[in-house]
Amino acid sequence: MSVLRLFVKLCTAAMLCAVAGSHHADAAPRMPPGSHGETQAASASIDPVGYMFQISNETLLIEMNPDVAYNSIRSEYLVVWYNDRPGNDDIRARRIAHDGRLLGGPFYIAAGDPGVDRRYPRVAYNVKADQYMVVWQNQEISSGHSIHGRRISGTGQVLDASDIVIQGAGYNLYTPANPVIAYAYSSDKYLVVWDETWHPLPISTSIYGQKVLATGALEGGIISISQDPGKNPRTKADLAYNLGRNEYLVAWEQYDSGANLSDIYCRRVTGNGLPLFPETTQIAHYTVSATAPSVAALPVEPDGQYLVAWEVHGALSDWDIVGSPVTADGNPQPHFIIKSTNNNELQPAISGNLNRGRYLATWQQAPSTGFLFSNISGVLVSQSGSIVEHTISLGGFVAHHPRVEGGAHGDFLTVYDDIPLAADAGIYGRFAGNRTYIPAVTKP
């Protein structure tokens, strides 16, 4: 790194810390790992386990945008993704054991119906019913966008013969998009959140939610989480559930039309779907854009906490990953840099692991020159908001869209879409932990 670039990076870091301090002057200073009653893991170290492995790569088919949920009863994961077929995108899934074994082949969750595209699936696990719920963005030529879902048993059986319609078709009046989902254990229900653009003037994009019971039935009406008055669209929401308070934290990217940049905001919602006050809390505001938030939670004593990570457009036109712990009552703590290099760090995805008492933050590492190759990297983050140890490489050749989930024994599984050498686009994964053995199945 040149002296000039190092100087600019240090200035950027100082700017982030200064902005964070000015927004949260009453926040306690960051403490080292182990402070404030942090869960003490058996080992703070984390390394890739085994090799990058293939989850699905069907010839001449583009498979992309995976998500993953952990089944604590069966000690396994469900990975979901969509197949990009012209005019007929579909949703597929595959089960993976905690030791890396592929459990059966890929199976369809929703398919057929030419002229219907199903994209951007997200999945949550319900431990009480031993079931998953998968939601996605549904797009029909005749009726526009809608939000659909289906439930999957713990053994991988599709439980619903037809889609659960969570938000109906927009018919070009409104466009619901980018659904996310989490499960509230204490309330025993799911919360699905999405952004929705209303097209008649004035055009606005707001954040909404809908409760769904374990039976697949909708409960109550659509929940307004953050309303755009016009010219300040809210998009790319994410959420996590905090067992300690039976609450969710919903975070989103919000455009500031006056400053011509994007900030990160959040709002707490109870496990029963009631939005709490304040209506919005600003997590990140800089003189550059902050985008693409990811949220995770840890149910630590006394009442849990969150971590929010996002992209920030750096001083030299590259992108970095920044984070902030958020207390259980929704108070953001000082920001810290998760990763900043000469290259672009993009598409953050984070997960907490109670067994480890840490978060794993992952991202796409891509050259700032726009060169083709990119991989997925990650780093452990403490509860108090500090980097625990070295950055690890989780694989990839032309890799995008990482998602990560904490599992058994302090492990994490990261999944992503990738285009390996001499292959087309498929879904891949890699474990990280402190195991000394290699998973039973690690290569395609």
Give pLDDT tens digits along the chain (444 positions).
333 333 333 333 443 343 333 333 323 222 222 222 333 334 568 999 999 999 999 988 899 999 999 999 999 999 999 999 877 899 999 999 999 999 999 999 999 888 899 999 999 999 999 999 999 999 998 899 999 999 999 999 999 999 999 999 999 899 999 999 999 999 999 999 999 999 998 999 999 999 999 999 999 999 999 999 999 999 999 999 999 999 999 999 999 999 999 999 999 999 999 999 999 999 999 999 999 999 999 999 889 999 999 999 876 679 999 999 999 999 999 999 999 998 999 999 999 999 999 999 999 999 887 668 999 999 999 999 999 989 999 999 999 999 999 998 899 999 999 999 878 899 999 999 987 544 444 444
Q: Which residues lie below 8 Å from residue 394, measured CB to CB, with a gap of 6+?
A: 48, 52, 362, 375, 376, 377, 378, 402, 414, 416, 430, 432
Residue 364 and residue 347 in contact, taking contact as beta carbons nearer than 8 Å:
yes
Quick one: DSSP state of residue 383?
T
Output the pLDDT for position 43: 55
Torsion sign across C-alpha atoms 81, 84, 236, 121: negative
Output the pLDDT for position 315: 62
Output the pLDDT for position 317: 74
Secondary structure percentages of the chain, helix, strand, coil, to 5: 5, 55, 40
Q: Look at the block and give the residue holding tokens 């000469």.
A: 342
At 337, list the tokens: 């840099």
Taking the C-alpha atoms of residue 317 and residue 344, their distance in angstroms, rounded to an integer, is: 9
Amino acid at 63: E
Residue 317 and residue 336 in contact, taking contact as beta carbons nearer than 8 Å:
no
Q: Look at the block and give the residue holding tokens 């550059």.
A: 288
Output the pLDDT for position 372: 81
For 351-376, give the DSSP string. Answer: EEETTTTEEEEEEEEE-TT--S-BEE
Q: Is 2 exposed, middle or buried (0-12, 13-18, 19+ CB in 10 A)?
A: exposed
Residue 382 and residue 394 in contact, taking contact as beta carbons nearer than 8 Å:
no
Neighbours of 218 (CB within 10 A): 16
Output the pLDDT for position 437: 45
| Bridge partner residues of 407 (DSSP) | none
Output the pLDDT for position 19: 36
Output the pLDDT for position 141: 87
Task: Provide the CATH topology of domain 3-433.
Answer: Neuraminidase (2.120.10)
Output the pLDDT for position 45: 83
Question: How would you classify residue 338: left for phi > 0, otherwise alpha for psi between -120 and 50, otherwise beta?
Answer: alpha
Q: Give exposure, 374-408, as e/b (b: 16+ Cβ within 10 Å).
A: bbbbbbbbbbbbbbbeebbebbbeebbbbbbbbbb
Output the pLDDT for position 332: 98
At 346, list the tokens: 């993009």
Output the pLDDT for position 314: 73
